[in-house]
Amino acid sequence: MTRQTMIAALVGNPNAGKSALFNALTGARQKIANYPGVTVERKSGRMLLPSGEPVELVDLPGSYSLNPSSPDEEVTRDVIFGRMAGQAQPDVLVIVLDASNLEQHLVFAQEIIELGRPVIVALNMVDLAERDGLVIDAGALSSALGVPVFPTVAVRRRGLADLTAAVAALRDRSLDAEPAHRPHVTAPERRMLARQIARGAILSETAQHRIHTQLDRVLLHPWLGPPVLLALLFVVFQAVFSWAKPLQDGLDNAFSGIGDLVRSELPASLLRDFLTDGVIAGVGSVVVFLPLILILFFFILTMEATGYMARAAFLMDRAMAGVGLSGRSFIPLLSSFACAVPGIMATRSITDPKDRLTTILIAPLMTCSARLPVYTVIIGAFVPSRQVLPGIGQQGLVLFGLYVFGVLGAMGAALLLRRTVTKGAASGFIMEMPKYQLPTVKDLALGLWQRAYVFLRRAGTMILSVTVVLWLLLNLPRAENPQDQVDSSIAGHIANGLAVVIEPIGFNRDIALALIPAMAAREVAVSALATTYAVGASDDEAQGKTLGAQLKTHWSLATALAFLAWFVFAPQCMSTIAVTRRETNGWKWPAFMLVYLFGLAYVAAGLTYWTAVAFGLG
């Protein structure tokens, strides 16, 4: 043996239940990363053979063929042929078949078997097949294919012991065995053979998969489907805002509590301030996102696991096609109304790379919850609270307008991007609708844990370093009088320069000074303005109110409106930037996002200001 650990790979069509099988075989011993140079997720984990010997198991992206039509399929092909950098060629391939969709899945299976590499077949989801009235003869399938076949039910852990034993047996044999020579056939022949083999292996079969069809008859109904989707999304958003808010506030309080504790325990020094306002507040600003990410992903993963996600994509495809996207972009964009971070993370389910990139780039235009504190303060101060129509207040109308403004901006941006930087063969919308399934708690928990880990580990480190840099900019060099700290800091000097640039769009130096720390997160703009206008108040609410009065004396209405327009577009959220970097595998696209969104923000704020001034509101 040349290598210590043997490598096995799971390979199969999408919706074959590969991920569930992977989870069942590896448990929580998983590693998630990107394949080098592409944004395809590499999932690997440790599987134990009956002897206790560990095997590295790689879950290859779902593919229909070795002749790739997507980056996912390219990765699958390259790994199987041992051409993927940083990934040794698998010693054993485990083909995963959906037992209730043999005719389709056997096409790719034959292509893999023809390679003559050590192969075993996991005939997965036999329970669902039986539910559909399908009984399959694994022995007949095995002799037709010429490779061992094992029936499995990944979610119930059935057949796993046989499968791992077979992997062990295959390893012992494959060491001295010559690669088997198998005849190569053309794709149409393969499809015909698949049909024949499937018919030969199916012992009995009832007419149709019933539960599946009956659910779809309602959920895909042209008039019933959309209201059901809408109702579901309403519940999701209710949950996100009613559950996440208290948790976020709790975490926020916990971190300021820790900060206070450190402040009271340590002697006053720059180091103490660095620890409390830089590091602890920085870690806090990362961690407060967790409840939102976990709650949103709980729903997203459930929708994916049950098979409903594909139905939602079907229902929304027409609307999304209008701006050059597909139905798959809908859920990520909708999630971005809560927070662009989970929204961008959810774009992984978009198969077409150009569609996915466009969705990532426009996600920050959806009005996320962090903009609300900014909007509320400004609207509260400058927009009179009177009724336009019975039940419809002017303030609410302006807020609604800002949401619409964001959506329109996103649509316009998508149209433009699709014709320029993300131009390319339209992916259209071709997708297999998976069968409905009950999700398992374990798979959901694992999925949630992975999102949390990816966010805290990959995005968190960057967010923390930016927070620390921002703190240093605001606190160095030290001023003699604490009152003048912000003005005499590096950030203060930057603000002087920035003020010149943003003066034409009606922004003063105070705003410039607030925009710098607000790079961390938009809502920081409120507290930064409060500091600038030296408003002493205990809690955020009271601060907001008195701040409003202060703003009214310092800003014109035109400036306030321009400030609102700025925040519709400005990408002032380093978590979004960090997640974009992670999801696009480099700095190119986050940099592009910063430039184009700041450009839009500048133009939008400028147009608003100039128009307002022209109407005599300056």
Partner 1 sequence: MTLDELPLGATARIIAADWGALVPEEAQRLRALGVEEGAEVRLAYRGVFLARDPIAIEIARMTVALRRVHARAMQVETMPSGGTASAA
Q: How far is the CB of 40 from partner 1 (least distance, A)?
A: 16
Binding segment (CB under 8 A) for partner 1, from list 171-179, 265-273, 316-324, 566-574: 316-324
Nearer to partner 1, 13 or 367 (CB): 13
223 counts as binding partner 1 under rule CB under 8 A: yes
Task: Compute CA distances 95 → 127, 143, 150, 315, whole Å.
Answer: 18, 15, 10, 32
Nearer to partner 1, 429 or 598 (CB): 429
**Rounded to whole angstroms, how far apart are CA atoms 571 and 463?**
14
Side-chain-facing half-sphere of 551: CA atoms under 13 Å? 31
DSSP H or E stretch at residue 56: strand 54-59
Beta bridge partners of 12: 96
**Rounded to whole angstroms, how far apart are CA atoms 212 and 229?**
17
Which residue in 428, 504, 586, 599 binds partner 1 (CB under 8 A)?
428
Which residue in 232, 279, 433, 490 binds partner 1 (CB under 8 A)?
433
100 counts as binding partner 1 under rule CB under 8 A: yes
Cis ω on the peptide bond leading into residue 477 (within 30° of 0)?
yes
Number of residues that bind partner 1 (CB under 8 A): 42
321 counts as binding partner 1 under rule CB under 8 A: yes
Q: How far is the CB of 212 from partner 1 (least distance, A)?
A: 8
Amino acid identity, residue 593? M
Site for partner 1 in 50-89 (CB under 8 A): 64-65, 67, 69-70
Within 10 Å of residue 481's Cβ, how many Cβ atoms? 8
329 counts as binding partner 1 under rule CB under 8 A: no
427 counts as binding partner 1 under rule CB under 8 A: yes
CA-derived radius of gyration, the chain = 28
442 counts as binding partner 1 under rule CB under 8 A: no
Per-residue DSSP letters for 113-148? HHTTS-EEEEEE-HHHHHHTTEEE-HHHHHHHHTS-
Structure tokens at 124: 């997965």
Binding segment (CB under 8 A) for partner 1, from list 86-94, 100-108, 470-478, 556-564: 100-108
**Rounded to whole angstroms, how far apart are CA atoms 523 and 572?**
9
Nearer to partner 1, 319 or 388 (CB): 319
225 counts as binding partner 1 under rule CB under 8 A: yes
Site for partner 1 in 357-376 (CB under 8 A): none
What contacts 28, CB < 8 A, 6 or more positions away? 446, 449
Which residue in 103, 114, 162, 487 binds partner 1 (CB under 8 A)?
103
What contacts 438, CB < 8 A, 6 or more positions away? 306
Q: Interface mask (CB under 8 A) for partner 1, residues 555-584, using x and -?
A: ------------------------------
Nearer to partner 1, 43 or 212 (CB): 212
Q: How far is the CB of 184 from partner 1 (least distance, A)?
A: 18
430 counts as binding partner 1 under rule CB under 8 A: yes
- 410 phi-psi bin (left φ>0, alpha ψ -120 to 50, beta other): alpha
Site for partner 1 in 132-191 (CB under 8 A): 132, 187-188, 191
Within 10 Å of residue 216's Cβ, how many Cβ atoms? 17
CB 404 within 8 A of CB 452: no
Q: How far is the CB of 352 from partner 1 (least distance, A)?
A: 8
Which residue in 19, 104, 367, 485 binds partner 1 (CB under 8 A)?
104
State the angle between helix axes of 588-614 and 353-362 in degrees (0 to 180), rounded to the nearest 10: 40
**Rounded to whole angstroms, how far apart are CA atoms 520 and 497?**
20
CB 173 within 8 A of CB 85: no
Binding segment (CB under 8 A) for partner 1, from list 218-226, 473-481, 532-540, 562-570: 218-226
Phi, psi of 419 (to 5 degrees): -95, -10
Q: Is 123 exposed, middle or buried (0-12, 13-18, 19+ CB in 10 A)?
A: buried
Nearer to partner 1, 407 or 426 (CB): 426
Q: How far is the CB of 419 from partner 1 (least distance, A)?
A: 16
Nearer to partner 1, 71 or 460 (CB): 71
317 counts as binding partner 1 under rule CB under 8 A: yes
Q: How far is the CB of 294 from partner 1 (least distance, A)?
A: 30
Residues that bind partner 1 (CB under 8 A): 64-65, 67, 69-70, 100-101, 103-104, 107-108, 132, 187-188, 191, 209, 212, 216, 220-223, 225-226, 310, 313-318, 321, 327, 425-433
